[in-house]
Amino acid sequence: MFNFESDYTEGCIPEILEALQATNTEQTGGYGMDPHCDHARSLIKKAFGCENADVHFLVGGTQANMTVISSILRPHQGVLCAESGHINCHETGAVEATGHKCLALPSEDGTITAAQVEEAIVRQRDDESYEHIVQPGMVYISLPTETGTLYSKKQLSALYKVCRKYGLPLFIDGARLGYGLAAKANDLKPKDIAKLCDVFYVGGTKVGALFGEAVVILNDGLKKDFRYHIKQRGGMLAKGRLLGIQFEELFKENRYFKISKHAMDMAEQLRAAFEEKGYQFAYRPETNQLFVVLSNTQIKNLRKQFAFHTMGIIDATHSAARFVTSFMTTQEGVDALIKAL
């Protein structure tokens, strides 16, 4: 059985386990104030070319999203996002639980446009009853999106320009950022990310770590007191060094990008094979998640040998199957799947 269900079905890159072993009896201070966290911070800042950023380590994505968002918004403000955005659909209302509305914008491919954001801001501001309507206070996007699609440099630049025009911070959820940056279809460099938003996070959980996300705050106005928020929202690990050690290993020797590239190579082979055989994709096959339209019979047959999710019904006889590659996907598994098609 080869598993293409998700990018979090296994553990982590071996270097992380080795480092945990090597450091196990070291004694360090808690709560993220240790040499490993410091080193990891400097590696990340270097990789993204943002020496003045603040870097914080959180445990998971939902936690990172709600902590960042609730630290930025005032009570009467909401966060603009795609209808399909993770915060709007798959976090059990974590953002609302901190008091804020997700202001969902329609989206077919998971992205939102500069024009949509501007229109939403202006519509609220120009409404006669604007004080009775939640004020857009920031913008959230995922890169790649929940459906595996990307923003081009041009799109992201336009979006950020609108955000700056109206003074709304732009926050990028990078749960799968590595895969996005390693994609052939991508034209954004790490340093572009750090120039085209106010906060982003570098996903570890789905990209080689056991767990952990690195929040990078670029905008000076958003840095103050962020550690209080981490603690209040339950994200401050007593043995904070566990996160430091993991991100140290991920960003040593460019590993984060190398393992992402491996996953994308695997995905590329699959994409090419699906295309060659004439399969349709439910969403643009740009990153490590491929949503392929299969007949229910094909799905049934493939499931004898492969694990994968179906994500939505296309018609009476077809569904969208999702195949996900990761840092751990093997050539053997990919070959087997291609052969089985």
236-255 residues near its own copies, rule: CB under 8 A: 236-239, 242
Asked if 122 is part of the footprint of its own copies (rule: CB under 8 A), the reply reads no
- Report the alpha-carbon distance of residue 298 to residue 294 in Å, rounded: 6
Among the listed residues 225, 191, 210, 207, the one whose alpha carbon sits nearest the alpha carbon of residue 56: 225
CB nearer to its own copies: give 45 or 241.
Answer: 241
Please list every residue from 196 through 215 that binds its own copies, using CB under 8 A.
Answer: 205-206, 210-211
* Position 114 contacts its own copies (CB under 8 A): no
Residue 231 engages its own copies in binding (rule: CB under 8 A): yes
By CB under 8 A, residue 21 contacts its own copies: yes
Site for its own copies in 29-58 (CB under 8 A): 29-31
- The stretch near its own copies (CB under 8 A) out of 155-163, 231-239, 262-270, 277-285 is 231-239
The distance of closest approach from Cβ of residue 194 to its own copies in the complex, given in angstroms and rounded to an integer, is 25
Cβ closest to its own copies, residue 48 vs residue 283 = 283
In the list 45, 50, 54, 78, the residue contacting its own copies (rule: CB under 8 A) is 78
Q: Taking a C-beta distance cutoff of 8 angstroms, is the pair 159, 117 a contact?
A: yes
Output 16 or 290, the one with its CB closest to its own copies. Answer: 16
Contact status: 168 vs its own copies (CB under 8 A): no
Is 66 a residue that touches its own copies (CB under 8 A)? yes
**Burial profile 35-46: b = 16 or more Cβ within 10 angstroms, e = fewer:** ebbebbbebbbe
Using rule CB under 8 A, residue 20 touches its own copies: yes
Burial 172-203 (b: 16+ CB within 10 A, else e): bbbbbbbbbbbbebbebebebbbbbbbbbbbb
Number of H helices, E strands in the chain: 14, 12
Q: In whole angstroms, what is the distance from residue 335 CA to residue 145 CA?
A: 27
Is omega for the bond preceding 35 within 30 degrees of 0, making it cis? no
Between 11 and 191, name the residue whose CB sits nearer to its own copies: 11
Q: Which of 38, 47, 98, 222 binds its own copies (CB under 8 A)?
A: 98
Instruction: Provide the 10 A C-beta neighbour count for residue 317.
Output: 11
Q: Where does this chain touch its own copies (CB under 8 A) — which range of 88-96, 107-115, 156-164, 193-201?
A: 88-96
Q: How far is CA 36 from CA 14, 17, 230, in A?
A: 17, 15, 19
**Among the listed residues 93, 100, 47, the one whose alpha carbon sits nearest the alpha carbon of residue 73:** 100
Residue from 75, 126, 316, 339 that binds its own copies (CB under 8 A)?
A: 75
* Separation of CA 312 from chain center: 21
27 binds its own copies (CB under 8 A): yes
CA distances from 290 to 4, 67, 302 (A): 10, 30, 15
The span from the CA of 336 to the CA of 74, in Å, is: 52
Which residue among 36, 41, 56, 233 contacts its own copies (CB under 8 A)? 233
Which residue's CB is nearer to its own copies, number 35 or number 49? 35
* Closer by beta carbon to its own copies, 67 or else 142: 67
Q: Candidates 67, 142, 149, 289: give the one binding its own copies (CB under 8 A).
A: 67
165 binds its own copies (CB under 8 A): no
Q: Which of 158, 259 has the CB closer to its own copies?
A: 259
